[in-house]
Amino acid sequence: MSIDITGTSAWQKLRAHHADFHAVHLRELFDEDPARGTELTVDAGDLHIDYSKHRVSRETLDLLIALAREAGVEERRDAMFAGDHINTSEDRAVLHTALRLPADASLTVDGQDVVADVHEVLTSMGAFADRVRSGEWTGFTGKRIRTIVNIGIGGSDLGPVMVYRALRHYADAGISLRFVSNIDPVDLVGQLADLDAETTLFIVASKTFSTLETLTNATAAKRWLFAGLGSEDVAAVAKHFVAVSTDAERVSAFGIDTVNMFGFWDWVGGRYSVDSAIGLSVMCAVGPVRFAEFLDGFHQIDTHFRTRPLEENAPAILGLIGLWYSNFFGAQSRAVLPYSNDLLRFPAYLQQLTMESNGKSVRSDGTPVTTSTGEIFWGEPGTNGQHAFYQLLHQGTWLVPADFIGFAESTDDLPTADGTGSMHDLLMSNFFAQTKVLAFGKSAEEIAAEGTPPELVPHKVMPGNRPTSTILAKELTPSVVGQLIALYEHQVFVEGAVWGLNPFDQWGVELGKTQALELGPALSSAEAPSDLGDSSTDALVNWYRKQRGR
Ligand code: F6P
């Protein structure tokens, strides 16, 4: 039986504390406790995290940690790492952390040596990646592979897309990656338009190998390959298609030889799978050594999360602060603002991670939750966001806590317009300025004192008290990308554990899939459908059919 977290004494204490504390301004908190700027920080792996600009006092943090303890977060964490079946609705272990265990670690789950299994797949991925990268693996006509197209969706797409973009500087074998995910034909057609079938390899990535989008796109890609090669020889499929899946039977039924299949396990959730064989495309681009560094980055944060007391535990602290805003301040979303164009897709990646995990209304035991769950994540790289939506962050009525992610070194740098400075320093001066202004703002008195006409003063007041986390690393290496992902994975875990959710299933996406299949014939058949179940859908489908001349 899940506990109702809102009925616990820790929750009640937080509620009372919020009533007293919610109006306290960050300016006051810093005035009263100047040490917070250096003390409310935590280092995890290569990440330096400042959480001092949050609307929390040291008492708030103690109360949040007490809440986590009352919710049993530590026990649940240990159960996850041990391989217990904490994904109860699917009766599965949740072991993405095992994907990044070093080869000499040991973990046996359900009678299976998980570490040996993981490293066996990593070794075969490495051998394949080396063959493709060296040119030993060629296409059907003997030419080396120049482009790899990953066909997958959701967790079988977003991770590789995001990581490839983040690590583009490490792609050193003359192989570029493309990604096709959407069932919108525009996606596949656009991605393949300028490619040469002879030098293109497809990775069909699907945990279940039953996903409509992926199988439809993969079938279309096979047709494109045959047309491009001018041959329908099945041997061409073996040279141009490999699969990543947990389902060998379905891979084989699709026509891909399981010799060219890289497996993973049902204990890896789709949104937690970029560090499994789902990362094969990334490994082909950056090489097995860099991929191992990427995995090591995850492992560093796993170790931190597993071993550090909650008081010094970065994912626990950040997850609990997120929950503080959601449940006590009524915040609905969190902005993720990377000051690195290479992390362009990080917010999109985090959307699946956080929202597919904790977007639930019932607890693990099926009882309804009694508080809001699931932070809504969104964001764009700075400084682009500054010229788009930051106005609302600074002066709007919503409280939007934000995560600022920045780096000391840039993957590229250029001189400033006057030639005296670095563009990266300019980027980072914006980074530091934004968190400062969001926290401390500018009062009406300060604005009036500058000689501002009185009627303009209210428009120019910057209220401040807008909370941010600052997450810094020296540079965006493969390891740091792994660390950043794991930092968020474990925040989601902490929040889900407090809310009593199962963050590892996603039943809410199923009905839409089956109804799309049911509606398909109505859209294309010669006969007009009589009753699709509701008058709106009837009318819309008939409108569509008419436009299509049916
Ligand atoms: O529809 C949601 C989902 O099941 C995700 O959880 C998953 O990442 C995605 O679809 C793709 O699934 P698969 O890898 O099985 O094709």
| pLDDT tens string 62-91 | 999 999 999 999 999 999 999 999 999 999
Q: Residue 495 has which token pair?
A: 């929040």
Confidence of residue 1 (pLDDT cuts 50, 70, 90): confident
Which residues lie closer than 8 Å to 384 by C-beta, 6 or more apart?
none
Helix, strand, coil share (%) of the chain residues, nearest 5: 55, 10, 35
Q: What is the pLDDT of residue 528?
A: 85
pTM for the whole structure: 0.97
What spacing in Å lies between the alpha carbon of 322 and ligand 1's midpoint?
26
C-alpha 287/C-alpha 203 separation (Å) is 16
Report the residue among 94, 153, 247, 351 best suited for mutation to probe ligand 1: largest number of ligand atoms under 8 A from its CB: 153
C-alpha 516/C-alpha 402 separation (Å) is 36
Atom of ligand 1 nearest to the CA of 278: 14
- Percent of the chain exceeding pLDDT 70 equals 100
- Measured CA to CA in angstroms, residue 294 lies from 99, 100, 308, 366 at distances of 11, 9, 22, 37
Neighbour tally for 28: CB within 10 Å: 12
| Mean pLDDT along residues 404-426 | 96
Decide: 500 in ligand 1 pocket, CB within 6 A.
no
Q: What is the pLDDT of residue 2?
A: 82
What spacing in Å lies between the alpha carbon of 523 and ligand 1's midpoint?
25
Tens-place pLDDT, residues 488-521: 999 999 999 999 999 999 999 999 999 999 999 9
Comparing C-alpha atoms, which of 275, 207, 191 is closest to residue 246?
Answer: 207
C-alpha 375/C-alpha 359 separation (Å) is 8
Decide: 212 in ligand 1 pocket, CB within 6 A.
no
Neighbour tally for 142: CB within 10 Å: 8
Neighbour tally for 219: CB within 10 Å: 14
Which residues lie closer than 8 Å to 7 by C-beta, 6 or more apart?
370
Greatest CA separation for the chain:
79
* Atom 10 (ligand 1) nearest CA: 154
Decide: 386 in ligand 1 pocket, CB within 6 A.
no
Decide: 540 in ligand 1 pocket, CB within 6 A.
no
Q: What is the pLDDT of residue 526?
A: 87
Atom of ligand 1 nearest to the CA of 245: 14
Partners of 200 in the beta sheet?
147
Atom of ligand 1 nearest to the CA of 270: 8
CB neighbour class for 549 (10 Å; exposed up to 12, middle 13-18, buried from 19): exposed
Decide: 414 in ligand 1 pocket, CB within 6 A.
no
Q: What was the ipTM of the complex prediction?
A: 0.98
The angle formed by the CA atoms of residues 348, 56 and 298, to the nearest 5 degrees, is 40
Is 167 in contact with 282 (CB distance < 8 Å)? yes
Residues carrying an active site annotation: 356, 387, 513
- Structure-token match 């004192």, residue found: 449
What spacing in Å lies between the alpha carbon of 184 and ligand 1's midpoint?
17
| Mean pLDDT along residues 33-60 | 98
* Atom 9 (ligand 1) nearest CA: 154
C-alpha 131/C-alpha 259 separation (Å) is 15
| Mean pLDDT along residues 122-150 | 98
Q: What is the pLDDT of residue 331?
A: 98
What spacing in Å lies between the alpha carbon of 271 and ligand 1's midpoint?
8
The angle formed by the CA atoms of residues 48, 54 and 60, to the nearest 5 degrees, is 110
- Structure-token match 């074998």, residue found: 173
Given a cut of 80, is residue 97 above it in pLDDT? yes
Which residues lie closer than 8 Å to 277 by C-beta, 6 or more apart?
121, 125, 244, 262, 263, 264
Decide: 155 in ligand 1 pocket, CB within 6 A.
yes
Tens-place pLDDT, residues 238-258: 999 999 999 999 999 998 999
Tens-place pLDDT, residues 368-400: 999 999 999 999 999 999 999 999 999 999 999
Is 335 in contact with 391 (CB distance < 8 Å)? no
- Measured CA to CA in angstroms, residue 129 lies from 288, 414, 481 at distances of 7, 33, 20
What spacing in Å lies between the alpha carbon of 157 and ligand 1's midpoint?
9
Which residues lie closer than 8 Å to 313 by C-beta, 6 or more apart?
42, 304, 305
Is 76 in contact with 86 (CB distance < 8 Å)? yes
